[in-house]
Amino acid sequence: MPRPLLACLVLLTLLLGGAATLRHAMTGPGQEAVAPASTSGSARALPRAAEVGPGGDFLGVIIPSASVEIVSRTEGQVEAIEVQVGARVQVGAPLVRLDLHPLRKELAIAQAALQTARAQEQLAQVALSEARDRTQRYAHPKLVSLQAMPEEEIAAAGFQEKSAAARLQSAQAQVQEQVARVEQIQQRISDAVIKAPFDGVIADRYLDPGAQASPSRPILRLLGAGGLRVRFAIPEDELRGIVPGAPIQVRLPREGPPLTGQVENVSPEVDSASRMIIALARLDVPPGADVPAGIVVRVRLRPQGERAALAVPETP
């Protein structure tokens, strides 16, 4: 296969694999879920191509430490988006607000239904108390000894007491149901203000105010501010020395000194089709450096002696 075509396949593999690793999937009620960078499971999608550049370099892609697509846990109309693309946010900062008018009306109806259920519960308690008093009067030892009350009335009093107890249980269940409904709506109102799950940067915006939000429609994309990673693939015959903790050099497309880092994870299996192994390394990015996620870089393993030399502090 021509070398340019191999390089194209490599880049496509890394970009798609990195995106799949960080893709967030919403599950049950939840406004967001963080998808940290990972090495597991991504090797299966690699094409059968060499990923080694000139001079033994490995092609890689810069990825964020975490990435999440912000979605709403509940359906509703977007009232306001509090941030712009490129804005830095802190954990807990409000990102999106949904229109609360429909939920507030629904809450008022549920609270009224709860009050009705509690009133029915009180009536059922009074009815049970009266039925028990009647049964106790009919069962008084003097009345029993004198046979003053017919057996039919005594049996009827017992039946009324059991019926009153059953009605009370039904009324209590209705109260519990309405309480759960009110709490559910209150939770939906709380979820209508969507907050940042971690410190990061807004990378993209998918919806505008007035759009209909739902758990299946992302609103924003948030990239974590916890550092950058580089994801790269290694041919199986080049794996020697690439272990967790191994030092690496990363060369960016533009001019400038290379970045350094350390290998964090190495996939435990070789992809049977491509004969590649996926590795993930942490980058040491200098303060103020502009290293955007998604760019293609070249990764090279640094000799162990070089790492030791860099670790020795200078003597004043």
Give backbone dihedrals phi and psi of 238, rounded to 5 degrees, phi first. -110, 10
| The pair of three-digit structure tokens given for residue 156, joined into one six-digit string | 């009827």
Does residue 23 fall inside a structural domain? Answer: yes
Mean pLDDT of each 10-residue bin along the chain, 316 residues long:
52 51 38 40 38 64 90 93 93 95 94 96 92 77 62 77 91 96 94 93 94 94 87 84 88 85 89 84 84 88 54 44
Judgement on whether residues 306 and 248 belong to the same structural domain of the protein:
yes
Judgement on whether residues 136 and 196 belong to the same structural domain of the protein:
no
Judgement on whether residues 136 and 163 belong to the same structural domain of the protein:
yes
What is the rounded distance in angstroms from the CA atom of residue 9 to the CA atom of residue 11?
A: 6
Q: Which residues of 168-195 are buried (b: 16+ CB within 10 A; e: fewer)?
A: beebbebbeebeebbeebeebbebbbbb
What is the rounded distance in angstroms from the CA atom of residue 123 to the CA atom of residue 171?
A: 9
Instruction: Decide the pairing of beta strands 276-284 and 259-266.
Output: antiparallel
Judgement on whether residues 166 and 301 belong to the same structural domain of the protein:
no
Task: Assign residue 79 the CATH number of its domain.
Answer: 2.40.50.100
Judgement on whether residues 182 and 249 belong to the same structural domain of the protein:
no
Report the Cα 311 to chain-centroid distance in Å: 38
Residue type, 224: G
**Domain housing 265:** 3-65+227-311
Helix residue ranges, H only, the chain: 3-22, 101-138, 141-146, 151-191, 304-311
What is the rounded distance in angstroms from the CA atom of residue 58 to the CA atom of residue 250?
A: 9
What is the rounded distance in angstroms from the CA atom of residue 100 to the CA atom of residue 185?
A: 11
Give backbone dihedrals phi and psi of 216, rounded to 5 degrees, phi first. -100, 0
Task: Assign residue 117 the CATH number of its domain.
Answer: 1.10.287.470
What is the rounded distance in angstroms from the CA atom of residue 13 to the CA atom of residue 28?
A: 31
CA-closest candidate to residue 168, choices 125, 115, 119: 125
Say what the pLDDT of residue 274 is: 77
Cβ contact 81:219 at 8 Å: yes
pTM: 0.61
Does residue 31 fall inside a structural domain? Answer: yes
Does residue 316 fall inside a structural domain? Answer: no
Does residue 12 fall inside a structural domain? Answer: yes
Number of domains within the chain:
3
Q: How many CA atoms lie less than 13 Å away from 277 in the CB half-sphere?
A: 16
| The pair of three-digit structure tokens given for residue 305, joined into one six-digit string | 């002696």
Task: Assign residue 287 the CATH number of its domain.
Answer: 2.40.30.170
180 phi-psi bin (left φ>0, alpha ψ -120 to 50, beta other): alpha
CA-closest candidate to residue 299, choices 66, 42, 5, 63: 63
Give backbone dihedrals phi and psi of 124, rounded to 5 degrees, phi first. -65, -35
Judgement on whether residues 187 and 78 belong to the same structural domain of the protein:
no
Judgement on whether residues 94 and 149 belong to the same structural domain of the protein:
no
Judgement on whether residues 234 and 297 belong to the same structural domain of the protein:
yes
- For tokens 């990363």, name the residue: 250
Judgement on whether residues 178 and 206 belong to the same structural domain of the protein:
no
Spatial strand order of the sheet with 66-70 comes to 35-36, 66-70, 220-224, 200-205, 88-89
Does residue 51 fall inside a structural domain? Answer: yes
Judgement on whether residues 105 and 185 belong to the same structural domain of the protein:
yes
Judgement on whether residues 61 and 78 belong to the same structural domain of the protein:
no
